[in-house]
């Protein structure tokens, strides 16, 4: 007795596999994170993120032109703030001539069509490395949300297309949406980090921006009072649905690979685009294993990115974006 249906017929050669492939990666899937630093002529490799760099504004302009020519048309900006400009209230974030504001304008001047999203968070500006204002050992929620709304308006006025609050304060999406509307910035979008977990995978990113929580008395040693417990699943749906109700246009799950079940859960439940962030620790692990010869770098990169899209992500924020486009040919 022979089987009437042989699934292997559809795997016989590369041509038929290409024809029936369900998930296709393209440059349009990617959001490219970029790290910006003060100075001129600076392209500084991040030690824990091989082949990834902090860029001064002159290099930033050249980088976005290269990305555009590769078919990568969306960037997510982060800034490394000098220590002398940091304080507990993130005051520098509202500077109209601050690094983020100048970075936005640099990108738009160099490549007007580039979609610019900006990190809206206090930790790069905080003397304590937290995503909120610290008082009596606590992270203040409502005061922080109001400040993030002001920061979002500043980014939008500088030319940002989307603001991307990554802090996980309760109610901050509503505060931001109302602030943008009050300023007449009705076309500025919000990509909310809706399900951002308290993960051990963020270490290299915090190296890149020097934004890790500081170990001092009366300051929380980690971000577990606002970022989500990685054991929780239904909480992610609740957070995401609340953000959409408050005005989020795009929702994000962060990190990526260990949270693809969450990506699928959210994709099945919501009607807005879903983003996933393949974070710095995920990037660093592939780089380190490939350097040791333990993994095929290119094969693993494409497998992971495909898995993220297959799970339901419409947008993938990844440090591998340029690598992926080159591999796609």
Average pLDDT over residues 249-265: 98
Residue 130 has pLDDT above 80, yes or no: yes
Average pLDDT, rounded, for the chain: 96
pLDDT at residue 250 in the model:
98
pLDDT at residue 208 in the model:
82
For residue 87, what are the β-bridge partners?
126
28 tagged catalytic:
no
Active-site residue (options: 80, 196, 223, 287) = 196
pLDDT at residue 32 in the model:
98
Residue 1 has pLDDT above 80, yes or no: no
Active-site residue (options: 80, 86, 223, 254) = 254
CATH superfamily of 23-328: Aldolase class I (3.20.20.70)
196 tagged catalytic:
yes
Residue 255: cis peptide before it, omega within 30 degrees of 0: yes
Residue 305 has pLDDT above 80, yes or no: yes
For residue 55, what are the β-bridge partners?
36, 43
pLDDT at residue 210 in the model:
79
* Rounded Cα–Cα distance for residues 291 and 285 (Å): 10
Average pLDDT over residues 311-319: 98
SS (H, E, C) 246-311: HCCCEEEEECCHHHHHHHHHHHHHCCCCEEEEECHHHHHHHHHHHHCCCCCHHHHHHHHHHHHHHC
Q: Read off the pLDDT of residues 150-193 as tens digits, 9 standing for 90 and up.
A: 999 999 999 999 999 999 999 999 999 999 999 999 999 999 99
For residue 139, what are the β-bridge partners?
134
What 3-state DSSP class applies to 205? helix
pLDDT at residue 212 in the model:
75
pTM of the model: 0.95
């Amino acid at each position: 007795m022979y089987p009437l249906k042989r699934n292997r017929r559809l795997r016989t050669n590369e041509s038929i596999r290409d024809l029936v492939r369900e998930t296709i990666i393209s440059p349009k899937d990617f959001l490219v994170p970029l790290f910006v630093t003060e100075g001129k002529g600076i392209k500084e490799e991040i030690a824990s993120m091989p082949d990834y760099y902090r860029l001064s504004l002159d290099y930033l302009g050249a980088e976005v032109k290269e990305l555009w020519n590769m078919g990568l048309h969306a960037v997510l900006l982060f800034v490394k703030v000098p220590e002398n400009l940091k304080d507990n209230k993130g005051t520098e974030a509202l500077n109209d001539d601050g690094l983020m504001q100048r970075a936005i304008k640099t990108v738009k001047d160099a490549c007007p069509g580039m979609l610019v999203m900006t990190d809206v968070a206090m930790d790069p500006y905080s003397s304590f490395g937290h995503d909120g204002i610290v008082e009596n050992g606590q992270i203040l929620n409502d005061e922080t949300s109001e400040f993030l709304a002001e920061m979002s308006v500043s980014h939008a006025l500088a030319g940002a297309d989307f603001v991307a609050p990554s802090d996980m304060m309760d109610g901050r999406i509503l505060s931001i949406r109302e602030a943008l509307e009050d300023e007449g910035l009705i076309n500025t979008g919000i990509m909310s980090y809706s399900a951002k977990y308290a993960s051990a995978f963020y270490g290299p990113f915090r190296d890149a921006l020097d934004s890790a929580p500081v170990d001092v008395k009366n300051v929380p040693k980690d971000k577990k009072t606002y970022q989500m417990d990685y054991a929780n699943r239904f909480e992610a749906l609740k957070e995401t649905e609340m953000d959409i109700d408050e005005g989020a246009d795009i929702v994000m799950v962060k990190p990526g690979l260990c949270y693809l079940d969450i990506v699928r859960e959210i994709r099945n439940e919501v009607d807005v685009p879903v983003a996933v962030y393949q974070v710095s620790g995920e990037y660093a692990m592939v780089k380190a294993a490939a350097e040791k010869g333990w993994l095929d770098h290119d094969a693993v990169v494409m497998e992971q990115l495909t898995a993220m899209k297959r799970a339901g992500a419409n947008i993938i924020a990844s440090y591998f974006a340029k690598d992926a486009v080159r591999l796609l040919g």
